[in-house]
Structure 1
Amino acid sequence: MNILVITDLYPVRENEKNTPKTIKNFVECWQKEGHEVQVIKPNFLLNSFVRKKPFYNSGIYGNVENINYFFPFWGNIKDKIRTDWNADFIAAHMPSGEIFANRLGLDFIAGVHVSDLEVLTNPLYSIYFKTELEKAHKNAKKIACRSEVLKNKFLKLYPQYKEKTFVCYSGINENYITKRLWQPDKKVKVLTCANLIRRKNIDKVIRECENLDVELRIIGDGKDLKRLKSISQKPVFLGRMGHEQVLAEMRKADIFALPSINETFGMVYLEAMASGCITVCTENDGIAGIIKNNENGFFWKDGIIEEIINSHNQQEILNNSYKTILNYTAEKAAKNYLNSLKK
């Protein structure tokens, strides 16, 4: 099968720090299955500047064609494209990708992320982007929401698209999955990992651990770092780390807690579960459709860390988490995405 992916959520280079590899994981799995995959990255320059994304000249980088636009895809956008986009299946993710695909007049799958809901509900986008995105969703062959929570929020706004909407979860590299035992006699290690910005709510984790006999380690960097450091002397701030280093820290931790809001999905939670951590997320957000409270993980609330430490079902939670994560490998996620198109 020839697959074309259209999205600005795609790293041009392997070492990009600010571009998640979520869509790239799908692409790599499809390639392993023998599919030919090309990527078009429509890059609205103002958006990239605001989000502090790395700049690349328009051109082809491996299987990725980066196309820069000063204005949001006005005029004849086909003239700039050099990639052969005669594809059997087109996946357009993020608002710019969906609008771009729709402007090309293609049959495509619209991949809905949190950014879509922002465009559809924030008055700042109502003049142009909301209208264009609504056109894209109307014309899309199917709509792939990145989580169950996101699907429910999207269908609450646009219930008329229920029949063509499905969930396309991310998956974890199965080699990362490990089964661990809870060790009740050792000091509990709590870990969190995120871009240190306000909506990640790292301050809640710090205050939660302040008066507990636990070790708290924080991975990440960002503009909220100074404020977070002023809250308490307890945490060990590890700074930004490479992916393998993050996984190594997760394997040493007992509890992973991140009460973040407005997450599209949250691969970091899957990675924590795969590493054998009891994982805490926010209710009705991101990965909450996979994590079930007090079954294979926990929803955040005041006192949750102490509750986990004092409970007697830690091993049961870990066992259930392990069983859950086996169903969310990258290979299964990529196959499920393609299989959903046949329904």
Structure 2
Amino acid sequence: MDVDVKLDPEDVDRRLVALAGASELPPPLLRRLLRHPQARREAARVRRDLTEELAGEIIALGSARPLAFNASLPAAVRRRLAAGPQEVVRAALAASAPDDPPGLLAGLVADPSAFVRRFLAMNGSLPGPVLVRLVEDPDPQVRSELATWQRDAPEEIRVALLSDPEPVVRSVACRSYVPPAALVPDLLADPRTRRDVLRHLELDPDLTACLARDPDVGVRAELARLHPELPRPLIDLLAADPEPNVRAVIARRRETTPAVRRSIEADLRAGADRFLADPAAATEEDLARYAASFGLHGCPPRTPPVPDAPRPSLAEVEELLSRAGL
């Protein structure tokens, strides 16, 4: 491949970034590449062969944050990043680092920044003692992140999150974990967790009928979406629900009759058309119908991925770096 003399700067940048993960790149060429900001950030994030010296150069050049996302750094580099002053760097490290050197994650769980601890809660390599510290974290957002990301947490962690004093944490936990039977009555009775616990329940007819009339539109929409065998009277009831979102969910159910489906779709599209014709004069109901009408359409097919271009030779890399002034 000859480097095209007509390459524009954007194309040169794109080719340099594509080289950032090339394992066959010799250290001298890699050091030159690191002088290009975009390629340096990509190399910092993806390369698995960075030495302590090369990582130090990347930090000195101002790319510590993408480097902190790299899970294959030498332990000494992780220790240096964890002790750094920038919380965005410590947060990136907290989200992705293994516990190497040992105790690294225990140090991050004591970080004074809740922002850092929230990212730590996303880490898939948390040892048990760190999980226990996080489930007791004073910041509810940290505990919510823990419930979101730690789907395979031990039972005592799951129960603690499902019983958390903050409703938002319990709600997130209900979406992540199947609650023990002993907790279900309280979660179902609480309007702040009722919607989220529905996905885990086998509903009897009486409870289903009660939920179909729940004052929370989210509960009714979740029932319409999740319940595999809604009785015909309840389908008809929810098809006439005052909230467009609930009606839209019923329209997508397989057992909804064609006549009911057409009626719902016509109603939603009529409101959407009024909103599009004159947004200033449209009612809130028209806006709600417009928003709900999006669910009636399928997504376009995905564009096939573009195949990777062949790797350039070292001579071609040398020419490209020179072209870029590196």
Q: State the TM-score, normalized to the length of structure 2.
A: 0.23
Greater share of residues in helix: 2
Greater share of residues in strand: 1
- Ranked by relative contact order (alpha carbons within 8 Å, sequence separation 6 or more), the top structure is 1
Q: State the TM-score, normalized to the length of structure 1.
A: 0.22
